[in-house]
Structure 1
Amino acid sequence: MTSEPVLVEKEDGVALVQLNRPDAGNACNAELATALIDLWKVLAKDDDVHVVVLIGAGTRHFCTGADVKRASQSDNAGFDHWPDIPEDFFKPVICAVNGVVAGGGWHFMWQADFAIASENASFLEPHVSIGWVPLREMLGMAVRVPQGPIRRMAYMGTAERMDADRALTLGIVTEVVPAAELRDHAMKIAKTIAKQAPLAVRLQKEAFQRAFDLRYAWRELYDHMHEKRIRVDWESEDGREGPRAFAEKRAPVWKGR
């Protein structure tokens, strides 16, 4: 398999974008972040692409967030910006969840239009278990699905994992399919959307974005809380202890400061 951090295939108006770090849980490092940030710009301008399907390489992980082992060695995750789906990217994005979603992987879940999952998919939110704050991940999901289960997941850390059937019940995913069928099923849905009138689809997506994307609707709160999160994640003693403990495979010693 190629060592490129992000792979792209185009077919019938659909770009299949694959996060390609399977040995690292498709976690985000500097190379993947840079590649994906650049790719969103390219896809936005590509008139031959009407829909994007986002999937992880392999069968075990969709995306496990930032590379925590890398973060344990520095004052940040090794890159300046998470490779968000841009708020003004008005082409539909479908997440094809082929394994574990954790941490920053939730960014794609709340920023995409919808997600489908394989039967082996699972979902957890580990931030508080390493002393970090799942601010945007959980706020974004709380706009999309019932708050109670999202709040519980945010507080429970690695102690709780949700399976694909539970995610379907809550509306986190729209359907669950056999693992061997996930890619083809996602592409079939995407190609159907790609056959619709592209200007109408894009305008409809823009309406959804401006109405419900927290980056539009909650700008003041979003910016205020994001600044506080940075102080907890990267400047607090607990925020440094968590990644170190993870890398050293030991229980963290929290100090509450």
Structure 2
Amino acid sequence: MSSAGTETVRLDVDEGTGVAVVTLDRPGRLNAIDLRMAEELRALWRRLRFDDRVRAVVLTGAGERAFCTGIDRDVVVPQPSSPYMQDDPLLTVGPKANDLWKPVVAAVRGMACGGAFYLLGESEFVVADATAVFFDPHTTYGMVSAYESVLMAQRMPYGEVARMVLLGNAERIGARRAHEIGLVSEVTEEGRAVEAALWCARVIAGGPAEAVQGTVRALWAAREAARAPGFAQAPQLIALGNLPGGRQAELFARRVRAEPRIR
């Protein structure tokens, strides 16, 4: 087993099994993605393209409270004035965006919300423990859920995605319901998601790498055709529908502290 780490992401490689574990490592910020983490994820995925020791990857988050809670609220990303152009640092944090076709299994404990769907949407499948909850608070805070909605519409029935993104912070999808609707492939006991994901990854890594990676690429090709038109419209929809930053901050500061409904 070899380990390496950057400021925000940890990498552990088991050379015996060919499996790497990528851990989002900002537990104090609920593994929210800041600009440093975005850069380090991009570099890590591209590095794994050249690491022949690794044939499958498990992606998870440090700590017990969250897999990932999307972009860090303290991040400020200047935007062009044109609605046809947009800078979104999360668009390139996933493995597929960085041309990595080694299979990735996500292991979720605690919260996975908002921008976390960029990562889940580019994983082959998701294993979750009993504490996992999934939600998208964009609309609650005056933002359009565009890229997230497109990605989740490829994993969940339309009505389930619509309910999640439109109810925002008021409701969360529990692990059991996530399994029922196909977002999650397996639900484990609390704290056992990584273990279950590792079992899957080891089996996958034991197969011929070329055949496995070709299959991943074929699966993604089927999804790309539906994803591309939605992504193409996203910048304009966000530019038109997002409230000004100050107003978003007001809504975030005034958010209701009542416990969200979990179904």
Q: Shorter-chain TM-score category?
A: 0.7 to 0.9
Q: Which amino acid aligns with 2:45?
A: W
SS in 2 for 1:196: coil
TM-score (norm 1): 0.86
SS in 1 for 2:126: strand
Contact 1:3 1:20 in 2 (8 A): no
SS in 2 for 1:126: coil
Comparing both structures, which one devotes a greater share of its residues to helix?
1
Contact 1:50 1:198 in 2 (8 A): yes
Name 1:144's counterpart in structure 2: 155
SS in 2 for 1:180: coil
Q: Which amino acid aligns with 1:135?
A: A
Pick from 6, 9, 26: which aligns with 1:6?
A: 9
RMSD: 2.1
Pick from 224, 227, 236: which aligns with 2:233?
A: 224
SS in 1 for 2:121: helix
Distance 1:118 1:224, change over 3 A: same
Pick from 26, 37, 41: which aligns with 1:21?
A: 26
Report how far residue 108 of structure 1 moved.
Answer: 1.4
Report how far residue 48 of structure 1 moved.
Answer: 1.1
Contact 2:59 2:104 in 1 (8 A): yes
Pick from 78, 81, 87: which aligns with 2:89?
A: 81
Distance 2:65 2:172 in 1: 14
Pick from 182, 194, 203: which aligns with 1:183?
A: 194
Alignment of structure 1 residues 61-76 onto 2, 5 Å: 61-68=66-73, 70-71=74-75, 75=78
Task: Tell me which stretches of 4 or more aligned residues in structure 1 moved more than 4 Å.
Answer: 73-76
Contact 1:114 1:173 in 2 (8 A): yes
Distance 2:227 2:41 in 1: 25
Distance 1:4 1:172, change over 3 A: same
SS in 1 for 2:11: strand
Give per-residue Cα distances to partners, 1:178-215, cap 9 Å, x unaligned: 123222221111011000111001111111111113xx
Distance 1:7 1:231, change over 3 A: farther
Q: Any gaps of 5 or more consecutive residues in structure 1? A: 253-257
Distance 1:169 1:93 in 2: 21
Distance 1:74 1:47 in 2: 35
Q: Any gaps of 5 or more consecutive residues in structure 2? A: 80-86, 257-263
Alignment of structure 1 residues 1-257 onto 2, 5 Å: 4-11=7-14, 12-68=17-73, 70-71=74-75, 75=78, 81-82=89-90, 83-87=93-97, 88-213=99-224, 216-230=225-239, 232-233=241-242, 236-237=243-244, 239-246=245-252, 249-251=253-255
SS in 2 for 1:179: coil
Contact 1:119 1:179 in 2 (8 A): yes
Q: Which amino acid aligns with 1:250?
A: R
Give per-residue Cα distances to partners, 1:30-70, cap 9 Å, x unaligned: 111110011110011211111111100001100000111x1
Report how far residue 153 of structure 1 moved.
Answer: 0.7
Q: How many residues align?
A: 240
Distance 1:150 1:220 in 2: 18
SS in 2 for 1:143: coil
